[in-house]
Amino acid sequence: MARIATIERNTRETQIKLTLNLDGSGQVAINTGIGMYNHMLESFARHGQFDLAVTCNGDLHIDDHHSVEDVAICLGMAIDRALGDKAGITRTAHAYVPMDEALAFVALDLSGRPFHVLNFSWTNPSIGGLTCDLVEHVFESIAIHARMNLHAKIEYGRNDHHKAEALFKALARALDSATKHDPRLGDAIPSTKGVI
| CATH code where residue 78 lies | 3.30.230.40
Mean pLDDT of all residues in 59-83: 97
Q: Does 187 fall in a domain?
A: no
For 21-58, how does the pLDDT look when each residue is reduced to its tens digit (9 = 90+)?
Answer: 999 999 999 999 999 999 999 999 999 999 999 999 99
Q: Does 184 fall in a domain?
A: no
Residue type, 26: G
Over the chain, what is the mean pLDDT? Answer: 96
pLDDT computed for residue 125 by the predictor:
97
Q: Assess contact for 2 and 21: CB atoms under 8 A.
A: yes
Question: What domain range is 95 assigned to?
Answer: 4-179
Q: Assess contact for 5 and 19: CB atoms under 8 A.
A: yes
Is residue 194 scored above 90 in pLDDT?
no
Q: Single out the residue of 56, 62, 63 nearest to residue 126, CA to CA.
A: 63
DSSP 53-112: EEEEEE-TTT-SHHHHHHHHHHHHHHHHHHHTT-TTB--EEEEEEEETTEEEEEEEE--S
Q: Does 188 fall in a domain?
A: no
Q: Does 19 fall in a domain?
A: yes
